[in-house]
Structures are given as structure tokens and as C-alpha cells.
Amino acid sequence: MSLSRRSVLAAGGAAGVTGAAAVTGAGAAHAAGAGSRDRSGSGGGGGVRTGFDRLAADGYRTLAGRRVGIVTNPTGVTRDLRHVVDVMHPDARVDLTAVFGPEHGFRGTAQAGGSEGRYDDPATGLPVYDTYQTSGQALADIFTASGVDTVVFDIQDAGARFYTYIWTLYDCMEAAALAGKDVVVLDRPNPVTGRAALGPVLHPEFATFVGRKPVAQAHGMTVAELALLFNGEFLARPVERLEVVTMSGWRRSDFFDATGLPWVPPSPNMPTPETALVYPGTCLFEGTNLSEGRGTTRPFELLGAEGVDRTWAEAADAEGLRGVRFREAYFTPAFSKFQGRTVGGVQLHVHERELFDPVRTGIALLVTAKRTWSGFAWREDNWIDKLTGSASVRTLIDAGADTDDVVGAWEAELTAFRATRARYLRYR
């Protein structure tokens, strides 16, 4: 009698994963609502169980009888830090046959703007397909060639519209609909809370991979909620069978450290939850000639350029922004802008995160940088317009607008997005 690794480990494949049974169904909105009402524990306080936790605890019944491919990356881990692919692969209760890797890759070996390509995973032998910068019929063809009938998504998001994993989700949903595949989204926390949507809403003519559809810059949603929003509002051909497995124990006011879950950097320049906290605002500096802190140990918390002095930090502090202070800082990036050169600038210190508005802060920093440093310039490709979702922020700042003027310009579109968003929220 011969035993395979898969059969030997099947019984313990989900060991160490706890959680209530996932509640899902063919109707996506109904499924998500039902799942979120099963809230064992008091919420927060380290009691959060992810969508995968609940799926595994339910014996993978949602995936029974299906050939499964999963879109994931290094953040797809259990509470005891085992990757969900390594947990599912030897378990006879789930037929996992393929993995799909996003930007940075499935195992996370690639830097920003890179991926791992097509290969067989050494740990499991599973085929890994590259989805980065692939969408539409081309991605649908990959799903068809893989032989799966169900595409599962399990990636930790960072909470900002221009963080590309949510658009990987969108592209996979669009391609799954074209290929006639089912989609199951396993939910994880929004690390910077789901309290509110903030910032400008993307205008359709500025759509790119850092923003496909009219979503606020800080969306305040989880990936499962976004999946429901995409299917209900934006996909020309919705996924016929979309299921979401919600979390239990997560509240909209929870920051990541309240979840009790381990933080795995979702990309090389998102090392901590504190990075995610400032990222929806300070990522805007990617659209300028200043360093956004890439190549330092504090990306997106350190900002600067050659020739910047203490006057920027003083001007930023004078803005009176709630929950944050600014320190004059000097740093030498190891890569990216100003590699190997010492630059001056600011470091953000968030001291009251409940009051902190990252998008307003990012705008105030742009306004004060332009006023205090004569060398300030936008990237020649107007990347700032892709990040903010329109030309409004750039043109207003160039015209001398102050922070209140810039922020006030998007209030009407943000109010409309918040009303749409409210229909797809599944947690209190």
C-alpha cells in the first residue's frame, strides 16, 4: 500500500486554523450578509478569524467538488503563519490544482512593478500562473488553460485605491465571468479600519492598473466588500456565481493590531501596518520628483529631496493636521529616487491614529512642499493624475490652492461614492 503526501497530511491540513463555518451561497450579497452575522467573540481584541480560517474550519464545504485555483501571495497565511496553499494542497477535502500570482509574485520574490512569471512551485509542485498586467480575455484564457472551474482570492489589501491587489481582484472577476468560472473571495481586514471612505474618486478617463473604476482614494472596505461592489456596480458582465467568506470578530473601527493576526508585508515597501496607515496619502509623492521613502526602512513615512530643509516640516506642522506631527529628517535611499544620496525632508509621526486623515495629510504635504521648495515638480507623465484619479489635485495646487480648497473640490463625488459603498458593507 502506497501513501501520497497529500493523503497522509489530509487529516491535519487545517490544523491550527480555527473559526466558525463559513456561510456562503450562490447569491453574493446574501452570502456576505449571512456570514458577517456569525460573529463569535466580541469583535476586535485579537479574536478575528479570516475568511480562510472559517473556510477551513468548515471543512472546505464551499469548495467541495470543484477544481480550485487560488490568487494569492505571501499574505495568504493562517494565524500560525503557514501559507494557505501549503495547508490546502495536501488536504483531500479540497482539489487545489493551480496558483495565480499577482504583482510581486505568489511567493513574493519580485520588487514593485515585477512578477515571478510562469513556473511550478517547488514546495507543492503546483503550476503557478502569472496574472500581473494581464486582464480581459488574455486572463480568461489563462483560467481556461489551467483547468480550474473556481477561482479563489485570498490577499491582504492595504486600504488604498492605488494598491494594485484590489484591481487584480477586479481583473480576475472580469476574466472569470468571461471564462465561465466561479469566484470565491476569502476576506481579510482592512488594516487601516473600514470606518470611512476618504479622498477623491477616480474619474473614468484616468483609469489604469492603479485605479480601474470610480472608487475613493481610501475606500474603507474589505476585499470581500469590494468584490460585491465590483460585481454590483462596475463589471459589464458580472460573475454569475460570486461567493464571499466573511470574517468573524472584525469591527469597522479595528486597526490591524486589534485583530491578533500576524502582519506579513503585502509588498516589499509595505513593511508594517504603520506604513499602511500613511500610504493612502503619502503615496501621492510617487507622482512628484521627491522621494517617497523607497529604499529606506520607513517607506512612505519619510519624504524628501536634495535641497529640502527644515522649512517644509515647519510649514507642514503649521497646517494643524489632526493626529500627526512632522519632524525634519535626513536620509539616504538605498534604491529608487536619490539612490545613495543624502536628502532632506520630513518624517510623519502619527500620534492619534483615530483622528488622522491620511489623504488630507498627503494633500497638505504636497501643498507645503511646493510652497517651501523651489525645486518641486510633478513627474513628467502626470502620474499624480493617475494616483488621485483626475487632474484636479495637480491643477489646483499649481494654481496656488490651499489644503482646504483641494480637499473641498472632491466632496460631492466622495458623498456619492459613500452612498454607493454603504450598500455593500458587511460589518459593523
Segment 182-217, tens digit of pLDDT: 999 999 999 999 999 999 999 999 999 999 999 999
pLDDT tens per residue, range 360-392: 999 999 999 999 999 999 999 999 999 999 999
For position 113, what pLDDT does the model report?
64
Nearest to 19 by CA among 79, 92, 62, 63: 79
Question: Which of these, 419, 378, 393, 356, lies nearest to 159 by C-alpha position?
Answer: 356
Whether the pLDDT of residue 356 is over 90: the answer is yes
Candidate from 13-22, 86-95, 312-321 with smallest mean pLDDT? 13-22
Average pLDDT of the chain is 89
348 or 108: which carries more pLDDT confidence? 348
Sheet order of strands, 343-350 included: 302-305, 343-350, 324-331
Q: Which three cell numbers stand for residue 320?
A: 494643524
Distance CA(109)–CA(115), nearest Å, equals 8
Alpha helices in 283-345 (DSSP H): 310-318
**Separation between Cα atoms, residue 90 and residue 58, nearest integer Å:** 17
Tell me what the mean pLDDT of segment 148-171 comes to. 97
C-alpha cell at 323: 493626529
On the question of pLDDT at 420 being above 90, the answer is: yes
Q: In terms of Cα–Cα distance, which of 26, 21, 405, 415 is closest to 196? A: 415
Write the pLDDT tens digit of every residue in 240-283.
Answer: 999 999 999 999 999 999 999 999 999 889 999 999 999 999 99
For 200, other C-beta atoms within 10 Å of its C-beta total: 24
Question: Do residues 419 and 244 touch, judged by C-beta distance below 8 A?
Answer: no
* 165-180 tens-digit pLDDT: 999 999 999 999 999 9
- Residue 32's closest CA among 272, 243, 218, 232? 243
Whether pLDDT at 9 is above 90: no
What 3-state class would DSSP assign to 214? Answer: coil
260 neighbors 201 (Cβ within 8 angstroms): no
Between helices 136-146 and 165-179, what is the axis angle to 10°?
A: 70
Query: How deeply is 274 buried, as exposed, middle or buried, from its count of CB atoms within 10 A (0-12, 13-18, 19+)?
Result: buried
Determine contact, residues 387/396, Cβ cutoff 8 Å.
no
Q: Using 50, 70 and 90 to split pLDDT, how confident is the model at 46?
A: low
Q: Distance of CA 341 to CAs 291, 296, 297, Å?
A: 11, 12, 15
In DSSP terms, 69 is beta-bridged to: 98, 151
pLDDT above 60: residue 8 = no
Residue 112 pLDDT: 65
Share of the chain above pLDDT 70, in %: 87
Percent of the chain at pLDDT > 90 equals 83
Q: Which of 294, 410, 272, 285 is nearest to 353 (CA)?
A: 272
Mean pLDDT of all residues in 100-118: 74
Give the count of alpha carbons within 13 A of 412, CB side only.
2
Q: What is the pLDDT of residue 5?
A: 29
Give the pLDDT of residue 402.
98
Q: Per-residue confidence at 15, pLDDT binned at 50, 70, 90?
A: very low
Q: In sequence order, what E strands does 310-414 have? A: 324-331, 343-350
Q: Which positions ≥6 away from 240 have C-beta within 8 Å? A: 177, 180, 182
Which grid coordinates belong to 151? 477561482
pLDDT value of position 107 = 82
The closest alpha carbon to 359, from 161, 65, 116, belongs to: 161
Residue 246 grid cell: 466573511
Q: Show Cβ contacts of residue 68 under 8 Å, excluding neighbours closer than 6 positions.
A: 88, 94, 95, 96, 97, 98, 148, 150, 152
Is the distance from CB of 158 to CB of 126 less than 8 angstroms?
Answer: no
Measured between alpha carbons, how far is 63 from 76 in angstroms, rounded to an integer? 17
The pLDDT value recorded for residue 104 is 79
pLDDT tier at 119, thresholds 50, 70, 90: confident
pLDDT for res 357: 98
Cell readout for 274 is 504603520
For the record, the C-alpha cell of 40 comes out as 463569535
Strand spans (E) along 41-166: 67-72, 95-101, 119-120, 127-130, 150-154
C-alpha angle 28/186/169, rounded to 5°?
Answer: 80
